[in-house]
Amino acid sequence: MENDAGFFVPPTHGYSYLPFNAATLGRLYRNDPELTNLRFRAWFEGADQIIADSKFLTSVLIDGKESSMSKNDDWCGDACRGLVRNRSIRSFCMSIPSHRPCRGWFRALSRFFERNSKLYHIQLQGSFFGIRGPLPPNNGFDDYCIALLNTALIRNATLTRLDLFGDFNLTAKGWETFAAALSHPDCYLECLTLGNSGKFGDEDISCLGEALAVNGRLITLVFIRQRSITSSGWRGFARCFNNPNSALVNLILFECNIDADGATEIVSALSENARLEELSMTNNNHLREKDWSDLSRVLCDKTSIERTFSSNHTLRKLHAKRWLNEGVESDEDEENWNEEDYDSLIVDGRIKNDIERSFWMNYNANKAEVARFKILKHHFPRGDIVGDVFASMAESQIIKNLEETVMFNFVRNHPELFDIRNKSAVVTNRKAAAKKRKRQPLHG
């Protein structure tokens, strides 16, 4: 399945996967082109060769939590022999049983992760928020398993997307080794999602921020319901914004319990960032009016021409919707809430207009033009032009009109700098000299 841009999009977890039974096994054997997504909850002896020969299978889901396969590791070796030799699978999803050790599974799967030349996406789902209580040592997805996954991230250049959902049995050391893999020059990961983890804390996200500061390939980072992170953790993470080597373009923070102090740390760090284009802080705590003022100043600091020039000319989209706020009184109101709207209960109209205007200007890919446009707009009031007049023009034409208007007003207000009489005299003298040279006879 592909989207409009041509990128492969794996099916939603647990949805549109066909069960692995005798009927689907026969279709796999016949290489049915319509059989592309398969869900394993049982195993058939000898199926490894059929999987290896499959030409159209693109997405595999192993349901390890509820299946009978979770009782032993024998099936895993058979399955992995087929997975390693398969050359069509692009997305691998697995729900991990947290009640038993999984090291044997990942030892077998590591060969598939490292060697499959088509595999670009891995999704692993553990338990959610410790529903089953604390995990015993070495059970579920632990430090040993993440080390095997880290090796695959470095050795397999096709792995560009990783999704980790739920509570894993990882220690601070495990997250540290994961961050080290992200900072490795041979890691080609472009999209990372970390969701629903109650154990991912301040030290872990700070360590991740240090890795992203030197990672030149990770474009999209998604945090979902990471509620154990405080403002201290966001401060440590936000340091990656200040490093020009960071490639982060999209940052999505969904229901991460970000308070006003945490939002301040994130917004203030954007002042020195020249990469991030989209920031989403959806369904978090309210941002204060100061946070919005800080964002407006980050996008266009009007205190001086130099500060305007060095403002953020990259960020062009912000999602800051809070579904459960005081202004939403019913489910119907919530459904009608516009995602693109700011929190009208807090944002001053002038600040909101400044932010929207800066976002509009930041869409221009030529950042030199953006900086010049902001300078002309805010530091030459007598040459100020209402942007709506030029809304239908190209950016270059807008700049041209503004520059001509500013220059006209500058000359009109400072005529002493332009001595028209002297200029005419110079022109007259040049013409007379040219005529004299023409009258002189040629020699030789």
**Does a structural domain hold residue 424?**
yes
Greatest mean pLDDT among 59-68, 319-328, 396-405: 59-68
In-domain check, residue 405 = yes
pTM for the model? 0.78
- pLDDT tier at 136, thresholds 50, 70, 90: low
Task: Count how many domains the chain has.
Answer: 2
Domain ends where: 332, 366, 400? 366
Is the predicted pLDDT of residue 7 greater than 50, yes or no?
no
CATH of the domain at 133: 3.80.10.10
Render pLDDT for 83-129 as a digit per residue (tens, 0 to 9): 989 999 999 999 887 777 888 889 889 999 998 989 999 999 887 54
266 lies in the same domain as 151: yes
Does the pLDDT at position 50 exceed 50? yes
Say if residue 391 is in the same domain as residue 337.
no
| 41/185 same-domain check | yes
Rounded Cα gap, residues 343 and 339, in angstroms: 10
Residues 298 and 427 in one domain: no
Helix (H) or strand (E) holding 110: helix 103-115
Kindly report the CA angle at 307 between 305 and 311, in degrees rounded to 5? 120
Q: Are residues 105 and 182 in the same domain?
A: yes
pLDDT digits (tens, 9 = 90+) for 300-313: 999 988 899 899 99
Per-residue pLDDT for 411 more than 60? no
Q: Is 138 left (phi over 0), alpha (psi -120 to 50) or beta?
A: left
Residue 135: pLDDT over 80 = no
Closest CA to 162 of 183, 142, 141, 191: 191
Looking at 316, 336, 366, which one is the last position of a domain?
366
Q: Are residues 200 and 341 in the same domain?
A: yes
Question: Do 313 and 406 share a structural domain?
Answer: no
Return the pLDDT at 62: 86
One domain, residues 340 and 418: no
Considering only residues 330 and 364, tell me which one the structure prediction assigns the higher pLDDT: 364
Q: At what angle do helices 202-214 and 231-238 cross, to 10 degrees?
A: 10
Rounded-to-integer distance, Cα 387 and Cα 377, Å: 9
Question: What would the two tokens of residue 340 be?
Answer: 């693109």
- Co-location of 424 and 340 in the same domain: no
Average pLDDT, the chain: 79
List pLDDT tens digits, range 142-180.
Answer: 999 999 999 999 999 999 999 999 888 899 999 999 999
User: Pick the residue with more confidence: 372 or 314?
Assistant: 314
Give domain status of residue 1, yes or no: no
Question: Is 157 among the domain residues?
Answer: yes
Domain coverage including residue 288: 18-366
Both 165 and 210 in one domain: the answer is: yes
Task: Give yes or no: residues 289 and 155 share one domain.
Answer: yes
Per the domain annotation, does 273 fall within a domain? yes
Q: What is the pLDDT of residues 240-256, one digit of tens each?
A: 998 999 999 999 999 99
Percentage of the chain modeled with pLDDT above 70: 72
In a domain, 314, yes or no: yes
> With contact defined as beta carbons under 8 Å apart, do 386 and 402 qualify?
no
Res 271 pLDDT > 60: yes
Residue 8 domain-assigned? no
As a whole number of angstroms, the distance between CA 41 and CA 47 comes to 13
Q: Is residue 169 part of a domain?
A: yes
- On whether both 418 and 358 belong to a single domain, the answer is no
